[in-house]
Amino acid sequence: MNKRELSLVFIVIVSLGAAVALARWMEARPSQFDEARQREVEKLYLTPAAARRMSLGFNGLVADWYWVRSLQYVGRRLLAYRGPLQLDDLSPAGLELLAPLLDTATTIDPQFLAPYHFGAVVLPAVDQEAAIRLLTKGIAANPAGWRLYSDLGFIYWQQGRYAEAAPVYRAGSQIAGAPGWVALLAGLMSAQGGSRETAREIYRRLHESTTDPQMKELAVKRLLQLESWDQRDVLRRVLRDYQTNTGGRCPAAWRDVAMQLRRVRAPLGPNGAPLDPTGAPYQLVPAACDVELDEKSEIIR
C-alpha cells in the first residue's frame, strides 16, 4: 500500500470515528438539538457510489457501519416520536433517511444480505417503491438468494399486487435450496392472494425462516392480529344472532350472550368477557352492537 492509499485509509477511519463520536454526543444532549437541526446532521453527505470508492477495499467493514447506523437511526427516530404509530405506516416518525442508508450499505457490499431482509420488512412502511428497488437490486446482485425473491414477493403481497408477487415467488422456488413453501406461496398468490389464510401462511413462514429477532416479533404480532380478526368475526356473528332473536336489540353486557359464547367456544375471562389472543378482554360496544379491542390489548390495531 503506497502513501496515498495509507492517507486515504486514515481519512476514512478518522471520518467514521468522528461520525460515531458526533452521534454519541448528540444522544447525550438531545435537548440542545431541535427537530430540524437533528435532521440536518443526520443527512448523508456521501452518495452510495462515493462511499464505495472511499471504502478502499474495506467494503465489509464500511457496509457494516452503514447497516448499524440504519438500525440506530430507526431506533432513535421511533423513540423520539411521541404520537401513535401503525406498523403499516411509519412515515410520521420521519424515516426519510432509511432508504438511502440501506442503499449505501448494499452498494458498498452488494452481497451483504441483512440490509435487504430488514428493508423488506420495515421499508415498505416508509417508502414502498424504495423497498421494491432495494430488493430488485439485491436479486440482481445475488441471483441465487431465494430469500430475496421471497422478500420481494412479500412486498408485492403487502401492496395487494398479487399478479406481480406470484411470478417472483415462482422464480424463487426454482432456485436450488429453496423450500417447498415458496412454491406454495406462488400458488396462493394466484388463487387467493388477499385472504387471511395467505397472510397467515406468509407470516408463519417468515417466523420460521428469519433469524432476526425483530422480524420474528413482527411475525408473531401479525399472527396474533389475524387470530383476533377471526375471533371478532365470530363474536360479531353472535351479536347479530342475538339482535335477530330480540327484534333488533343489542346485548347490554357479555353475560346476555354467555350461552352463545360457550357454544362457539370463545375463551372467557373471570367476568365472562371473551378474551383476545393476548388475554385482554374484548370490549362490547352496545350502541354499535359491535366488539372492539381493549385499550390495554397488545394486539395490533
Supply the pLDDT for residue 253. Answer: 94
Q: Which residues contact 28 (CB under 8 A, 6 or more apart)?
A: none
C-alpha cell at position 34: 431541535
Global confidence as pTM: 0.65
- Distance, in Å, from the CA atom of 105 to the CA atom of 162, rounded to the nearest integer, reads 29
Supply the pLDDT for residue 60. Answer: 55
What are the extents of the domains in the chain?
Answer: 1-141, 143-212, 230-292
pLDDT tens digits, one per residue of 183-224: 888 888 877 777 888 888 888 888 887 777 777 888 899 899
Helix H or strand E segment including 220: helix 213-245
Supply the pLDDT for residue 176. Answer: 92
- Distance, in Å, from the CA atom of 198 to the CA atom of 226, rounded to the nearest integer, reads 11
In the block, cell 395467505 appears at 198
Alpha carbon 40 to chain centroid distance?
Answer: 26
Residues in the chain predicted with pLDDT less than 70, given as ranges, are 1-62, 85
pLDDT over 90, % of the chain: 42
What sign does the dihedral 63-49-42-16 (CA atoms) show? positive
Determine contact, residues 70/101, Cβ cutoff 8 Å: yes
* Number of other residues whose CB lies within 10 A of the CB of residue 191: 11
- Distance, in Å, from the CA atom of 301 to the CA atom of 285, rounded to the nearest integer, reads 17
C-alpha cell at position 175: 432456485
Pairing relationship of beta strands 283-285 and 290-292 according to DSSP bridges = antiparallel
Type of residue found at 47: T
SS3 category, 281: strand
Supply the pLDDT for residue 224. Answer: 94
DSSP state at residue 251: P
pLDDT tens digits, one per residue of 21-38: 444 444 454 444 444 444
